[in-house]
Amino acid sequence: MSKTIRRAWLPFLNVDVPRDCDTPEKVAAFELKAGCAALKLPVPALKLDPALGEGYAISGGAITGGDTGVLYGAYAWLMAAAAGERAPESLQKPYWPLRMINCWDNADGSIERGYAGRSLWFEGGDFCYDEGRLRQLGRMLASVGLNVLCVNNVNVKAEAELLIEDYLPKLAKLADLFRPFGVRLMTSIDFSRPLAHGVGTADPLDPGVQRWWRERADAIWRAVPDFAGFLVKADSEHRPGPFTYGRTHAEGANMLARAVAPHGGVLVWRAFVYNCMQDWRDAATDRPKAAFDTYAPLDGQFDDNVILQVKYGPYDFQVREPISPTLYAMKRTRLAMELQLAQEYTGQQIDLFAMNPMWREFTEDLPPEALCAVAAVSNLGRDDNFTGHPFAAANLYGFGRYAWDPFASPEAVLRGWARLSYHLPAAQESTLTDMLMNSRAVYEKYTASLGLCWMVRPETHYGPSPSGYEFDVWGTYHRASRDAVGIDRTASGNGYVLQYPEDMRARYDTPEACPDNLKLFFHRLRYDYVMADGRTLIQRLYDDHFEGCAGAEAMGEALKTLDLPEPDKSEAAERMERQIKNAREWRDVVNTFFHRLSGADDARGRKIYE
Ligand code: GCV
């Protein structure tokens, strides 16, 4: 028996998109008819103007747009109508041409860092999916303007065979499903794959290797003419890459870029390289410096169809990191910023963590024109609601909105999501919007106060373990001692701050100038260091952990006041209980950890365990 498909923020589109809607224009026409019927509104006219591309304009009761622009315009019109608003009349165009979702789905159906169930399209080593659900997903992606979907994990395993003839018809079928929604497919590739196919090397300068990749690209674009390109994780966390052959990452990336260039494809190369076998005794090596050291010298050497995809921070999707200096260092390279909707370090779709406020800070720090694209690791899975926590859908929605307009107000985006999803009375809508807006601050206080990251349980990355990563190989140390904590990354310390442009160095280089939320990322400070507000560092650590936990408890109370529909209400409540338990654990473990080290008592006499 087929279940009703959950519709995320599009509950008013209560009829599935039929199979014969096989172009964006046909989908747009269908959606307008279905949506207007549900909303009891007259259907606006739809006009195709190919010159507008992905852009659209709404005026005089008509929607005019390019090939996918008509679809984006139709959704914008419908979503505005469903929210009781008017769609903007000026010409709308996306800020970045590539707005990509990277799925870390494995062919066996599991998802690396997935928190919403198994893969939506893989199972048992092969493609396997419910077409209706994927059409709904296509609709969700198109409704917020996302246009590229990378189907498999960057840690490529069995699904490496995706590019081999036997699998191509299946990949082509999947591409057919998403094409009407303006979503093009991409795959992650395994740099060493030629070795598995009788080519004796994967050296990027070897003509046999170059030929092998060219033939693979030719075959894939024959099967999927609008295929978007390849995504590559190389020489990172034990993945193969050009270093094995003494080649640079520019040489490796360009070889692949030249294979896909004749088809108009892009080669997305991830800048996530560091020593993942570090000795914790070695204080001279600092993981945040690694990407800049590897890539900045290569600026200008990448082909035009290479996009270097850089994680937003120099570590790895932490709750709070300064923006990556690599994003400032490569003016002659096409760059994408990589975000992570999957809440690996940000609550695992159990704890609330709405990301738009964080991303908006990146817009402040980095002029968005420095980038040509934006990508985010997916938070999707086979759970009925697609994202595990029903509110985690706000991050998928919010990512689309951010990718379309990085200047958009996070408050407006999150309120928009809340309104479309639930249509609550005004006061409740504000409660939910406030919960989302504050969720990062709350989570940050109990997990990563003052920029102290990596106190998380190794492997799972959920729950506290202050020393869990301290003596490990991953380059993730806070070096807390009896007297002090943090890493000195100033000019007179390990020099990391020198990787930034001069104005930013000044912002971070002294403990006084450095914002509190990054203090211990950039500085090593004594527990009795006095902060600008007069509190000592240790007191601030205690206060943040108490406040963060209290903030989670307050969100739990706020949640109870919302008249959410089922099953969202029960799902959100069940997760909130787990979040509160997690927050209490973080509060007590981290406070006790620092109390034992420092011997300092809490000035307010609250309970800290011995
Ligand atoms: C796909 C982190 C995650 C890994 C992930 C890696 C990456 O280290 O823990 O699971 O691997 O980032 O972004 O490549």
The enclosing domain of 453 has a CATH number of 3.90.1330.10
DSSP state of 181: G
Residue 316 structure tokens: 């790895």
Q: Are residues 102 and 81 part of one domain? A: no
Q: Are residues 114 and 72 part of one domain? A: no
Q: Are residues 413 and 300 part of one domain? A: yes
Q: At which of 35, 64, 92 does a domain end?
A: 92
User: Does some domain include residue 547?
Assistant: yes
Angle at 342 between CA 316 and CA 14, to 5 degrees: 160
Q: Are strands 122-123 and 126-127 parallel, antiparallel or unpaired?
A: antiparallel
pLDDT at 1 over 60: no
Q: Answer yes or no: are the C-beta atoms of 215 and 223 closer than 8 Å.
A: no
Q: How many residues does the chain have?
A: 610
Model pLDDT, residue 159? 86
Q: Are residues 155 and 196 part of one domain? A: yes
Ligand 1 contact via 232 beta carbon (within 6 Å): no
Residue 33 sits in which domain range? 1-92
User: Does some domain include residue 431?
Assistant: no
Ligand 1: residue of 115, 189, 237, 309 to mutate (most ligand atoms within 8 A of CB) is 237
pLDDT at 61 over 90: no
- Written as one letter, the residue type at 455 is M
User: Does some domain include residue 179?
Assistant: yes
User: Does some domain include residue 268?
Assistant: yes
pLDDT above 70: percentage of residues in the chain: 100
Q: Are residues 399 and 331 part of one domain? A: yes
Residue 206's CATH number: 3.20.20.80
Q: Are residues 307 and 159 part of one domain? A: yes
User: Does some domain include residue 502?
Assistant: no
Cis, bond preceding 567 (omega within 30 deg of 0): yes
Q: What domain count does the chain have?
A: 3
What is the rounded average pLDDT of the residues 112-141? 97
Residues 6+ apart with CB under 8 A from 476: 287, 315, 453, 454, 469
Q: At which of 48, 66, 92 does a domain end?
A: 92
pTM for this prediction: 0.98
Higher pLDDT, 450 or 88: 450
Q: Are residues 137 and 6 part of one domain? A: no
For 506-557, how does the pLDDT look when each residue is reduced to its tens digit (9 = 90+)?
A: 999 999 999 999 999 999 999 999 999 999 999 999 999 999 999 999 999 9
Q: Are residues 83 and 164 part of one domain? A: no
Question: Ligand 1 centre from 479 Cα, in Å?
Answer: 23
One of 235, 316, 321, 543 is an active-site residue; which one?
316
Angle at 341 between CA 109 and CA 411, to 5 degrees: 150
Beta-strand ranges (E) seen in 475-559 are: 484-485, 525-526
User: Does some domain include residue 441?
Assistant: no
Q: Are residues 358 and 267 part of one domain? A: yes
Q: Are strands 62-65 and 45-48 parallel, antiparallel or unpaired?
A: parallel
Nearest Cα residue to 54 out of 68, 75, 38:
68
CA dist., res. 153 & res. 413, Å (int): 29
Model pLDDT, residue 289? 98
CA dist., res. 270 & res. 171, Å (int): 23
Q: Answer yes or no: are the C-beta atoms of 575 and 350 closer than 8 Å.
A: yes
Map residue 269 onto helix, strand or coil.
Answer: strand
What is the rounded average pLDDT of the residues 259-275? 97
For 168-201, how does the pLDDT look when each residue is reduced to its tens digit (9 = 90+)?
A: 999 999 999 999 999 999 999 999 999 999 999 9
Ligand 1 contact via 311 beta carbon (within 6 Å): no
Q: Are residues 402 and 255 part of one domain? A: yes
Mean pLDDT of the chain: 97
For 457-486, how does the pLDDT look when each residue is reduced to its tens digit (9 = 90+)?
A: 999 999 999 999 999 999 999 999 999 999
Q: Are residues 361 and 291 part of one domain? A: yes
Q: At which of 92, 111, 136 does a domain end?
A: 92
Atom of ligand 1 nearest to the CA of 155: 1
User: Does some domain include residue 492?
Assistant: no
CA dist., res. 354 & res. 401, Å (int): 13
Q: Are residues 147 and 273 part of one domain? A: yes
Output the 3-class SS for 410-452.
HHHHHHHHHHHHHCCCHHHHHHHHHHHHHHHHHHHHHHCHHHC
Q: Whose CA is nearest to atom 8 of ligand 1?
A: 316
For 354-385, how does the pLDDT look when each residue is reduced to its tens digit (9 = 90+)?
A: 999 999 999 999 988 999 999 999 999 999 99
